[in-house]
Amino acid sequence: MEWKTSAGPVDYPEAVSFMEDRVAAIREGRACELVWLLEHPALYTAGTSANDADLLDNRFPVYKTGRGGQYTYHGPGQLVAYVMLDLKKRQQVPDIKKYVFDLEGWIIGALACFGIEGERREGRVGIWVARPGGGEAKIAALGVRVRHWVTFHGIAINVDPDLSHFAGIVPCGIRDYGVTSMREVLGRNVAMAEVEAALRAGIHTF
């Protein structure tokens, strides 16, 4: 398996085009599996279940995308991991639900490296944490697509994004809970490279 890290912000259409080509190459045996770590410029994406009413303010570019889920935000300070794996090779019986469960476990394990307790919530997509001052909020999002049992799209962890940018959407269609970041939870900065290292160390989850 290969790892790819992009130093500067990657435009969303460029990322999707790359993933499309790589997924085809993996399926045809012309390329190995890949995890791509990157940040995007500020933008919103609308998954296959997105509700138009959940776009409250299109202050940033909005892209319709083939991943599952609803509206989400990407931007500087958020670490995105696009995961391109061949489930036929990795699972005795290809199972998308198990793959999503494993993605969640991967995030939870990475957060634990920093003393953050991430949790799953029944009926709510993403990883959730206790928020300073009470309540809970989402710290990481998931959105996947699978083509011929090769995965793409992936996860996004809020390391230190501008949380006010999420106000332009109803994140993942969930109105009753907010979003948070590793910086807000910990009260200190976390280097993006440290989070990348935690994800690399936990890839055995799959």
Active site residues: 172
> What torsion do the CA atoms of 153, 38, 200, 27 make, to the nearest 10 degrees?
40
Half-sphere exposure of 131 (CA within 13 A, CB side): 14
Structure tokens at 146: 């699978």
Q: Judge contact between 10 and 37, C-beta under 8 A.
A: no
Query: For strand 124-130 and strand 119-121, is the pairing parallel, antiparallel, or unpaired?
Result: antiparallel
* Strand residue runs (E) in 7-97: 34-38, 43-46, 62-64, 71-74, 78-84
Distance of CA 63 to the CA centre of its chain: 16
